[in-house]
Amino acid sequence: DAGVIQSPRHEVTEMGQEVTLRCKPISGHNSLFWYRQTMMRGLELLIYFNNNVPIDDSGMPEDRFSAKMPNASFSTLKIQPSEPRDSAVYFCASSNQGGSYEQYFGPGTRLTVT
């Protein structure tokens, strides 16, 4: 099994630009989570999907952030426009049946907004 795949692994962009992060969950998993990790705020849940439907997006910081899951094997997290305070490592994770099961994390995307 290839595990959770994220791309790109590193992204450097200028303030105001659009950023799109991509995630491919483990085949057969029906829950997908997007997290943001910073030194100051730790590991924050941004949004999670179950069977491709957003279940809880209360962690999405503001309207500049949006996430989609058009099918069971692909999800995107978009930031438009990006700001320096969005700099962080963004992790995607997947699991079977939601929160009560182990989550498998992808390698993360390190985003730097200058």
Partner 1 sequence: QQPVQSPQAVILREGEDAVINCSSSKALYSVHWYRQKHGEAPVFLMILLKGGEQKGHDKISASFNEKKQQSSLYLTASQLSYSGTYFCGTESGSYDKVIFGPGTSLSVIP
* Binding site residues, partner 1, CB under 8 A: 42-45, 48, 50, 55-56, 91, 97-108
- Give how far the C-alpha of residue 29 lies from the chain's centroid of Cα atoms, to the nearest Å: 16
For residue 8, whether the previous peptide bond is cis, meaning omega lies within 30 degrees of 0, is yes
Nearer to partner 1, 51 or 80 (CB): 51
Residue 23: other Cβ atoms inside 10 A: 25
What φ, ψ does residue 36 adopt, rounded to 5°? Answer: -125, 135
CB of 86 to partner 1, least distance (A): 19
Nearer to partner 1, 16 or 61 (CB): 61
Nearer to partner 1, 71 or 100 (CB): 100
Q: Rounded to whole angstroms, how far apart are CA atoms 94 and 29?
A: 6
CB of 75 to partner 1, least distance (A): 16
CB of 59 to partner 1, least distance (A): 8
